[in-house]
Amino acid sequence: MKLIINNSSMQPIYEQAAGQIKAMIMEGQLKEGDMLPSVRALAKDLRVSALTVKKSYDALEQEGFVITVHGKGSFVACANQSLILEEKKKEMEADMETAIRKGRSCGMSDEEIAEMFHIILED
């Protein structure tokens, strides 16, 4: 599994790893039942603490993307399409919020932002 960790990022390492694994699941690169690397193996590959990787896996399990079987490892959970769709909607909402903030920061009114949204929507 190829993950890229940015040590100078403000985002915690465990969130970076969890986010990249989640993206791989949502994009279909990791499929239901696929085994994730062991905590120790991934920690060694990323050159981070095993506790950091464990925290990533725990976060993914809490969100329903991964299941952990004690003594066997962590696996991609049942591909819950509604969960994946909801996650994509959250990402889109965050992107839209960023775009609105950028528009406002350059002096655009809400009406101008909405007009731009409708123009882009028509394409």
Q: Is 83 a residue whose pLDDT tops 90?
A: no
Q: Which domain holds residue 57?
A: 13-76
- 40, 50 contact by CB (below 8 A): yes
Residue 99, in any domain of the structure = yes
What CATH number is attached to the domain comprising 59? 1.10.10.10
Both 17 and 63 in a single domain?
yes
pTM above 0.75, yes or no: no
- 17, 52 contact by CB (below 8 A): yes
pLDDT band at residue 26 under the 50/70/90 scheme = confident
Residue 95, in any domain of the structure = yes
Give me the pLDDT at residue 79, please: 65
Both 53 and 33 in a single domain?
yes
Give me the phi and psi of 35, to 5 degrees please.
-85, 135
Give me the pLDDT at residue 91, please: 87
Both 105 and 62 in a single domain?
no
Both 87 and 72 in a single domain?
no
Both 61 and 96 in a single domain?
no
User: Rounded to whole angstroms, what are the CA distances from 7 to 14, 45, 46, 74, 78?
Assistant: 11, 14, 11, 25, 32
pLDDT, one tens digit per residue, over 46-80 is: 999 999 999 999 999 998 899 999 899 999 987 66
Both 65 and 19 in a single domain?
yes
Percent of the chain with pLDDT over 70: 98
In the 8-state DSSP scheme, what is residue 8?
A: T
Q: Is 84 a residue whose pLDDT tops 90?
A: no
